[in-house]
Amino acid sequence: MKLQEFNALCEMLKKSSGLVLTQDKQYLLESRLAPVAKKFKYDSVAALLSGWNSSRERSLENEILEAMTINESFFFRDKTPFDNFENIMLPHLLESKKRQKHIRIWSGAASTGQEAYSLSMILKEHAAELEGWRVEIVGTDLCSEALEKAKSGLYSQFEVQRGMPVKYLVKNFKQVGSMWQIDAKIRSSVQFRHFNLMNSFTMLGRFDIIFLRNVLIYFDKETKADILQRIEKQTNSECFLVLGASETLVGLNDHFKLVQDVRGLYKYEAAQKATLGEPNTTLNSMPKAANGFQKA
């Protein structure tokens, strides 16, 4: 691969999606772009990039962009963030928002939908506590193909076995030929939208919980800080932000505070966000239990 073509690709990815591709990540090109090369009848990834660099064909550029930005996803990935959702975030919001009875959750970089559906299945387990509540889950991604799969709710045997507790499979899926389809009520509980993190967040509305795991690692420091600053404008008071376990906001943002002894979980408590009827209850003032909270 010519250096000129690699640099042109890096420039396009940075401008279009904020993704920073360094030379040590060139190995990703072969695995992610091989299917694109085959689709457009190129003999190799190098030939694909040469052809794109010469033509700058928009449809080809979009295919490359989507292939390079797709994230791996599976049900209940890493488990701990979902335990924190059930044992920390949800109980806290059930108390702090008991007047509004409205919770909004954003699964950023939702990919093929497993994260958003995992959250919905947990909420289903708490249906009695949430009776009379309105809970919205919004899943966004840059990849149209991934979103179409998410909307269908159809997954292979391998995908439903990977990380999913058996009880959730039995309760929420039915077999369709060799595939498994998630229950229609679970599918309807999530709104999937095509969205680029480089664009304005205003259209998304405000949220109480934001899952943005293993996404910021692909951006440079300036872009990370910009995304976090724009996310602040979409938070309701006391919004939780969930990042990957290895991610940190040190040097990027001072307004999201790490929840004590909980890796990857941040909370936004800016006083100016508090509104009448939406008390600014802090984590430290809540009754402590073994997991940090008592359920409402």
Domains defined along the chain, listed by start: 3-69 (1.10.155), 80-285 (3.40.50.150)
Closest among 52, 17, 18 to 36, alpha carbons compared = 52
pTM of the model as a whole: 0.79
Closest among 29, 58, 62, 66 to 45, alpha carbons compared = 29
CA distance 282 to 95: 11
Across 63-72, 124-133, 143-152, 276-285, least confident range: 276-285
Q: DSSP letters of 150-186?
A: HHHTEEEHHHHHSS--HHHHHHHEEEETTEEEE-HHH
Q: Is the pLDDT confidence value at 22 over 90?
A: no
CB 262 within 8 A of CB 232: no
| Beta strands 235-242 and 265-268, pairing class | antiparallel
pLDDT of residue 1: 61
Instruction: Decide which of 4 and 87 is more confident.
Output: 87
Q: Which amino acid is at 18?
A: G
Instruction: Decide which of 67 and 185 is more confident.
Output: 185
Give tens-digit pLDDT for 205-262: 999 999 999 889 888 899 999 999 999 999 998 899 999 988 999 999 989 999 988 9
